[in-house]
Amino acid sequence: MNIKGFQFSAVEAAIKKPGRLDLALIVSETPAAVAAVYTTNKVQAAPVLLDRERTENGTCRAIVVNSGNANACTGPVGMDDARETTRLVAEGLGVAEEEVLVSSTGVIGVPLPMERMRAGIPPLLQGLGGGTLDDVARAIMTTDTFPKLEVRTGKAGGTGYTIAGIAKGAGMIMPNMATMLAFIVTDAAVDPAWLRTVFAAGVERSFNAITVDGDTSTNDTAIIMANGAAGNPMLSGGSEGAADFVRLLDEVLLTLAKLIVKDGEGATKFVEIAVKGARTDADAKRAAMAVANSCLVKTAFFGQDANWGRIFAAVGYSGAEVEPDRAELFFDDVQMVRNGVFAGGHAEARGTEVLKKKEFSVIVDLHLGDGEATVYTSDLSYDYVKINADYRT
Amino acid sequence: MNIKGFQFSAVEAAIKKPGRLDLALIVSETPAAVAAVYTTNKVQAAPVLLDRERTENGTCRAIVVNSGNANACTGPVGMDDARETTRLVAEGLGVAEEEVLVSSTGVIGVPLPMERMRAGIPPLLQGLGGGTLDDVARAIMTTDTFPKLEVRTGKAGGTGYTIAGIAKGAGMIMPNMATMLAFIVTDAAVDPAWLRTVFAAGVERSFNAITVDGDTSTNDTAIIMANGAAGNPMLSGGSEGAADFVRLLDEVLLTLAKLIVKDGEGATKFVEIAVKGARTDADAKRAAMAVANSCLVKTAFFGQDANWGRIFAAVGYSGAEVEPDRAELFFDDVQMVRNGVFAGGHAEARGTEVLKKKEFSVIVDLHLGDGEATVYTSDLSYDYVKINADYRT
């Protein structure tokens, strides 16, 4: 996969176990409009703190990413290491240090192995032009079981453009491993201010609508670069093709987000939790997230148990406004609850059939207003416990 | 165990499987001062809604409790059933219906089996005087593996009195099973308004400071009855012996709360999470609860992995104010983090030794103020998933 005006590279720098790509680079041949969304965790990794400053500029040239070490909880040394990493890449590219971003994912609390980073950067730079976005998607994996890449093509003012995105790992997957990372590149010309708006909105509906274990990492980062190499008339609010661009971008983001859930640790189910009829959209998201994060609900999904009482209880403690005797609950199209009580009939048997599927939906209608939200989650299985209980090795 | 002026009874009413006590009664021979704390879940079981009204009166005569069915999400029928249960008990005792409280724990969404309740209440009434609080402690168990009872004796104005408490089941333990219940009885004479204050404060530091899975049930209830049969001068704020009474009551509450955690589903560890140096006590509790409810932290406890990064990350997303480079973290007396970074030395090996213990403490010092809070939790094990994934049967 290649996108006009972008170059990619990925190498083995021995940060992870031998034989695995762990250092990658995305470069735009010209300054690209950039927008980003970062973790809301108050404990933030050095690369997040650094990128947060640098994406304020609105343009950037490159993103260097390592896996195997999150450079989180590493103090002033961690910030020095993040800066040095970007400086070495900037010097190699002949661009300003402030135009280079850095992301890290992996072990928390252990300094970046800078000797390996320093040794890896020259071959990384040499590889530019020969690598693909697929290589980068592989290099950012930690415990992901497959690389996650999604592409859409569109037209603006008669000119074709491409949007391609990659992502890795939901939540804090492995013992001491942190980070969801997502990088989107497009050759479309996009107004930087408008890009920030539509990207933030898209992330809210995709990466901010998934949960595997409810643990917000110290490194979560989603960045989009738009370099205009396609040559289309600049996209911005209301311009020709703007709505299409937003739709295609949203598709890329949502597809990547869903792939992350499907590759969640120990996941055997992919579940869409849709809450509607809430007083507000925020209330709907609160309720949906409480359901998606409930250990009891998630173990019931794993056990294929149509246990609507747990879902109802989670909605009840979510903080959302609820009038229990108005609420309805469905598993796919099977109504389990009507006016707050069990719907009766064959609901139990039919609901259980739904839960046996690998993918299904839970729909809660609160009948209080127009607020709605959809989130995506996995179940909580023996393997989740196994993966996360194992000693760090 | 008996307490002056109280009578107890417990019978098999066939609500649970045969051979298990499932219907119990606590009666005060005279009107007792009563105080209660209920679930904050917006989906509340019928008995909670009913008791909430009735404990407003400030006195009560009896509590009837069934296990095996939570009478939750049962709509108007559930409220009728709760009322009828208390009416039948009130008629048998010759007291007003409004003086009888009812609690239920068990399956959600299934109507109370009223035929069995009606058949069980006459023998329950007949058993009064012959039963003990221990019988009641056994009758309210669902998946608890042992009954939970704690007693203290004190003196006020030279007169001896007893405080005895029983409790059951942390969180929403079994598939479709709900409820933490706790009942405290004392023969001390206590001013009702003051009782409400000290009981609410005690519950905040005990039952509201424990978490097994973060799921707040629809039925959580803690009730205290004080009937004055000991004949002591009335206890109230500032009276002789008041401070002692609060201390003894707190000991009963905290001991019961800890027993609930130790009997938590699948628990192999008992962990005290103490946060100090927070900006406020509320901030400290937020941070401690985030750590105690993190699936990643709890699986690390199960895996005996001294994974302080996960704890640090949970504090970071808790909503509490945090300045990462000031924070310290200890496992018992082993310092793992100093100024926000790994303390180095032998911390890793020594921390791992602490995690191998069955009971240990996590201490986080945020160095921002005087706020502090302690919560108690268990680990997240294979057995938790097994217990909660199994089909309802």
Domain containing residue B312: CATH number? 3.10.20.340
Q: Does the pLDDT at position B277 exceed 60?
A: yes
The first and second tokens of residue A308, run together, are 């609507």
pLDDT for A296? 85
Residue where one domain finishes, among candidates B262, B284, B305: B262
Of A42, A299, A340, the CB nearest to B316: A42
Residues A193 and A298 reside in one and the same domain = no
- Answer whether A215 sits within 8 Å of B316, measured CB to CB: no
In the three-class reduction of DSSP (H, G, I as helix; E, B as strand; rest coil), residue B161 is classed as strand
| Residue A392: pLDDT over 90 | no
Question: Where residue A175 falls among pLDDT bands split at 50, 70, 90?
Answer: very low
Query: Which residue of A175, A214, A299 is in closest CB contact with B307?
Result: A175
Look at residue A171 and tell me whether its pLDDT is greater than 60: no
Per-residue pLDDT, B390: 66
The Cβ of residue B286 has, within 10 Å, a number of other Cβ atoms equal to 20
Nearest chain B residue to A324 by CA: give it: B43
Catalytic one of A85, A142, A162, A179: A179
Q: In this complex, do A313 and B339 lie within 8 Å of one another by their Cβ atoms?
A: no
Pick the closest to residue B220 from B370, B14, B36 (CA basis): B36
Whole-prediction pTM: 0.85
Checking if the pLDDT of A34 tops 90, the result is yes
Higher per-residue pLDDT: A286 or B171: A286
Contact B382 A382 (CB under 8 A): yes
Across the interface, whether the CB atoms of A305 and B392 are under 8 A apart is answered yes
Q: Say how far residue B220 (Cα) sits from the centre of its chain.
A: 8
Q: Are A380 and A298 in contact (CB under 8 A)?
A: yes
Is the per-residue pLDDT at B292 higher than 80?
A: yes
User: Do B240 and B287 belong to one domain?
Assistant: no
Q: Is residue A132 part of a domain?
A: yes
Task: Look at residue B234 and tell me whether its pLDDT is greater than 70.
Answer: yes
| Closest in B309, B321, B384 to A72, CB measured | B309
| Pairwise CA distance, residues B294 & B308, whole Å | 12
- Whether B7 and B181 have beta carbons less than 8 Å apart is answered as no
Q: Quick one: which H or E segment has residue B269?
A: none
Cβ separation of B295 and A325 shorter than 8 Å? no
Contact call for A294 and B214, based on CB within 8 A: yes
Highest mean pLDDT out of A40-49, A212-221, B3-12: B3-12
Bigger pLDDT: B323 vs B384: B323
- Contact check, Cβ <8 Å, B216/A313: yes
Same domain, B256 and B282: no
pLDDT score for A393: 39
Give residue A49's pLDDT: 95
* Cβ-based neighbour number of residue B289 at 10 Å: 23
Residue B173: pLDDT band with limits 50, 70, 90: very low
Chain B positions touching A321 (Cβ under 8 A) are 42
* Bigger pLDDT: A235 vs A345: A235
Looking at the structure, do residues A277 and A243 belong to the same domain, yes or no? Answer: no
Residue A170: the pLDDT is: 58
**Residue B241 binned pLDDT confidence (cut-offs 50, 70, 90):** very high
User: Tens of pLDDT along B83-124?
Assistant: 999 999 999 999 999 999 999 998 888 899 999 999 999 999
What tokens does A293 get?
């994060």
pLDDT at B355 over 60: yes
Q: Which of A142-146, B109-113, B334-338 shows the lowest per-residue confidence on average (mean pLDDT)?
A: A142-146
Alpha-carbon B285 to chain mean position: 17
Which tokens is B108 given?
């959600």
CB A368 within 8 A of CB A251: no
- Among the candidates A260, A288, A303, a domain finishes at A260
Residues contacting residue B28 through CB under 8 Å, at least 6 positions apart:
B5, B6, B60, B61, B62, B185, B225, B227
> Are A229 and A280 within one domain?
no
Domain count, chain A: 2
* Least reliable range by pLDDT among A76-85, A258-267, B51-60, B229-238: A258-267
Say if the Cβ atoms of A389 and B300 lie within 8 Å.
yes
Q: Are residues A255 and A293 in the same domain?
A: no
Give Cα separations from A392 to A213, A216, B135, B308 (angstroms). Answer: 19, 20, 46, 12
Among the partner residues B109, B178, B313, nearest to A308 by beta-carbon distance: B109
Show the tokens assigned to A342: 């069990």
Name every chain B residue with its beta carbon within 8 A of the beta carbon of A80: none
In B139-264, which ranges are E strands? 148-156, 159-168, 181-186, 210-211, 221-226
Mean pLDDT for chain A?
Answer: 91
The verdict on a CB contact (< 8 Å) between A44 and B316 is: yes
Residues of chain A neighbouring B340 (CB-CB closer than 8 A): 73, 75
Which residue type occupies A97?
A: E
Mind giving me the DSSP string for A319-368?
A: SS---GGG-EEEETTEEEEETTEE--TTHHHHHHHHHTSSEEEEEEE--S
Q: What are the chain B neighbours of A41 within 8 Å (beta carbons)? A: 313, 316-317
The bridge status of strand B148-156 relative to strand B159-168 is antiparallel
Query: What percent of chain B clears pLDDT 90, i.e. is strictly above it?
Result: 72
Lowest-pLDDT range, A122-136, A295-309, B322-336? Answer: A295-309
Do A207 and A352 reside in the same domain of the chain? no
Select from A44, A299, A378 the residue whose CB has the most chain B CBs within 10 Å, as the one to mutate to test that interface: A299
Distance CA B159, CA B333 (A): 42
Written as six digits, the tokens of A74 are 């590493």
In this model, does residue B24 exceed pLDDT 80? yes
Cross-chain Cβ contact B309/A217 below 8 Å:
no
What pLDDT sits at residue A76?
93
Provide, as residue numbers in chain A, all residues whose Cβ is less than 8 Å from the Cβ of B216.
313, 316-317
Return the number of other C-beta atoms located less than 10 Å from residue A251's C-beta.
17
In a 13 Å sphere around the CA of A174, the CA atoms on its Cβ side amount to 19
Burial class (CB in 10 A: 0-12, 13-18, 19+), B94: exposed
Per-residue burial over A98-119, b if 16 or more Cβ lie within 10 Å, else e, is bbbbbbbbbbbbbbbbeebbee
- The CATH number covering residue A245 comes to 3.60.70.12
| Of residues B259, B211, B168, B216, the one with CA closest to residue B380 | B211
In a domain, B1, yes or no: no
B370 vs chain A: nearest CA distance in angstroms?
20
* Helix extents (H) in A162-232: 192-205
Of B107, B315, B342, the CB nearest to A43: B315
Q: Do A245 and A293 fall within a single domain?
A: no
Phi, psi at residue A317, to the nearest 5°?
-100, 5
Chain A residues touching B108 at Cβ < 8 A: 309-310, 312-313
What are the catalytic residues of B?
A: 179
pLDDT score recorded for residue A387 = 75
Q: Is A285 exposed, middle or buried (0-12, 13-18, 19+ CB in 10 A)?
A: buried
Separation in Å, CA of B118 to nearest CA in chain A: 23
Q: The domain containing residue B229 runs over which residues?
A: 6-262
Of A216-220, B306-310, B357-361, where does the model show the most confidence? Answer: B357-361
Q: Which two tokens stand for residue B177?
A: 């099973």
Distance CA B393, CA B391 (A): 6
> How high is the mean pLDDT of chain B?
91
CB < 8 Å to B299, chain A: 384-385, 388-389
Taking an 8 Å cut-off on Cβ atoms, the answer to whether A110 and B75 are in contact is: no
Would you state the pLDDT for residue A264? 81
Residues A87 and A33 reside in one and the same domain: yes
Which DSSP symbol is given to B124? Answer: H
Question: Is B363 within the bounds of a domain?
Answer: yes
Any residues with CB less than 8 A from the CB of B121 and at least 6 apart, and which?
Answer: B23, B64, B85, B88, B89, B92
Angstrom distance (rounded) from CA B294 to CA A54: 32
Look at chain B and count its residues.
393
Residue A187 located in a structural domain: yes
For an interface test with B, the pick among A39, A179, A180, A296 (most B C-beta atoms closer than 10 Å) comes out as A296
Q: How many CB pairs under 8 A join A and B?
A: 219
Nearest CB partner across the interface for B75, out of A175, A314, A340: A340
Chain-centroid distance, C-alpha A298? 20
Chain A: give the shortest CA distance to residue B108, in Å: 6
**Taking CB atoms and an 8 Å cutoff, what residues of chain A touch B384?**
295, 299, 385
Contact (CB<8Å) B305/A392: yes
Select the more confidently predicted residue: A57 or A117: A117
Rounded Cα distance, B137 and A269, in Å: 39
State yes or no: pLDDT of B289 exceeds 60.
yes
pLDDT tops 90 at residue A121: yes
Identity of residue A196: R
Contacts of B285 (CB under 8 A, 6+ apart): B209, B275, B373, B375
User: What pLDDT does A384 receive?
Assistant: 80
Chain B partners within 8 Å of A107 (Cβ): 309
Chain A closest-CA separation from residue B207 CA (Å): 17
The number of residues in chain A equals 393
Strand partners, A102: A64
> A389 versus B59: which is more confidently predicted?
B59
- The answer to whether residue A265 is domain-embedded is no
Asked whether residue A1 is assigned to any structural domain, the reply reads: no
Do B294 and B372 lie in a common domain?
yes
Do the chains contact at A218 and B316, CB–CB below 8 Å? yes
Do residue A317 and residue B216 have CB atoms under 8 angstroms apart? yes
Distances (CA, A) of A335 to A108, A354, B76, B262: 45, 11, 20, 38
Dmax (CA) for chain A in angstroms is 71
Same domain, B242 and B326: no
Q: Which of B262, B297, B319 is the last residue of a domain?
A: B262
Complex ipTM more than 0.85, yes or no: no
Identify the helix (H) or strand (E) that includes residue B19: none
Q: Look at residue B227 and tell me if it is in a domain.
A: yes
What pLDDT was estimated at residue B388?
Answer: 74
Q: What is the pLDDT of residue A208?
A: 83
> How much is the average pLDDT of A101-126?
95
- Burial label, A243 (beta-carbon count in 10 A; 0-12, 13-18, 19+): exposed
- B197 and B280 inside one domain: no
Q: How far is B270 from chain A (nearest CA, A)?
A: 16
pLDDT (average), residues B273-289 = 96
pLDDT at B323 over 50: yes
Integer Cα distance of B39 and B217 in angstroms:
7
Q: Is residue A320 part of a domain?
A: yes
Residues of chain B in contact with residue A322, where contact means CB-CB under 8 angstroms, are 42-43
